[in-house]
């Protein structure tokens, strides 16, 4: 059973999150940040993860704390749900088109936290959402999941399409990387014997 529940409360946010890596793409998302709800919903659908997120955050300040802390919780959830990572494919990558946008995403579930993020947005906001929070979300995810993640915009002009392409590419990449390879289901995918 590759699933987990995360509860995190700080002076800035209160988050309840559940994740099932072997789901069907169902989600219940209520973050208080409309655009982030949209991104997490499509992340669950395209990754075929069952995901619930409830966040009460200090959005009267801005959306930063909510976006960052949800990234922290999602990263921790992936780490916990994967356990010793026995049998996983480990690597995933995709080049994903979203209309005029083209996004490259690659991951190594390595135990080593690193984010390579090279995706400039053409506007500072998508609705009320600060586009710089996309990178903040992924930086937080990487810190707690201990994965190596590269996201690169190869093309794109529309900020909504860029962000959506990133989250869809991330979903498809993680789906591949966490999948169990039946041929090696009892092995740790590393010569070190541990990830």
* Predicted pLDDT of residue 187: 82
- 31 within a domain of the structure (yes/no): yes
Contact 138, 151 (CB under 8 A): yes
Residue 89 lies in a domain: yes
Query: Residue 135's pLDDT band (boundaries 50, 70, 90)?
Result: very high
Look at residue 193 and tell me if it is in a domain.
no
Band the pLDDT of 114: cuts 50, 70, 90. Answer: very high
Q: How many domains does the chain have?
A: 1
The Cα 53–Cα 43 span in angstroms is: 12
Report yes or no on 191 lying in a domain.
no
Structural domain includes residue 71: yes
Q: What is the pLDDT of residue 193?
A: 64
- High-pLDDT (> 70) share of the chain, %: 97
Pairing of strands 148-155, 114-118: parallel
Kindly report, residue by residue over 67-94, the tens digit of the pLDDT. Answer: 999 999 999 999 999 999 999 999 999 9
Helix (H) or strand (E) holding 92: strand 91-98
* Between 91 and 186, residue with greater pLDDT: 91
1, 169, 183 from 187: Cα distances, Å? 17, 27, 9
Tell me what pLDDT residue 21 has: 98
The CATH code of the domain that includes 19 is: 3.30.230.40
Sign of CA dihedral 32, 34, 40, 42: positive
Residues 37-52: tens digit of each pLDDT:
999 999 999 999 999 9
- Within a domain: residue 152? yes
Mean pLDDT to the nearest integer, 139-149:
98
State the virtual CA torsion across 38, 41, 42, 46 in degrees, nearest 10.
170
Q: Average pLDDT for residues 91-117, to the nearest whole number?
A: 98
Structural domain including 86 reads 3-184
Domain membership flag for residue 189: no
Q: Is the pLDDT of residue 191 over 70?
A: no
Stretch (H or E) spanning 176: helix 159-178
Residue 190 lies in a domain: no
């Amino acid at each position: 059973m590759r699933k987990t529940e995360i509860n995190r409360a700080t002076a800035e946010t209160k988050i309840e999150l559940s994740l099932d890596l072997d789901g069907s793409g169902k989600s219940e998302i209520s973050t208080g940040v409309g655009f982030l709800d949209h991104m997490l919903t499509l992340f669950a659908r395209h990754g075929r993860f069952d995901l619930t997120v409830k966040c009460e955050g200090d959005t009267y300040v801005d959306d930063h704390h909510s976006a960052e802390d949800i990234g922290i919780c999602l990263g921790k959830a992936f780490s916990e749900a994967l356990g010793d990572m026995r049998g996983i494919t480990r690597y995933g990558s995709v080049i994903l088109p979203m209309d005029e946008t083209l996004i490259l995403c690659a991951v190594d579930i390595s135990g080593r936290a690193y984010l390579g993020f090279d995706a400039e947005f053409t506007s500072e906001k998508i609705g009320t959402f600060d586009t710089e929070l996309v990178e903040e979300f992924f930086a937080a995810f990487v810190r707690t999941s201990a994965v190596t993640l590269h996201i690169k915009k190869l093309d794109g002009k529309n900020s909504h399409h860029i962000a959506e392409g990133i989250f869809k590419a991330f979903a498809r990449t993680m789906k591949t990387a966490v999948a169990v390879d039946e041929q090696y289901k009892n092995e740790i995918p590393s010569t070190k014997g541990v990830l």
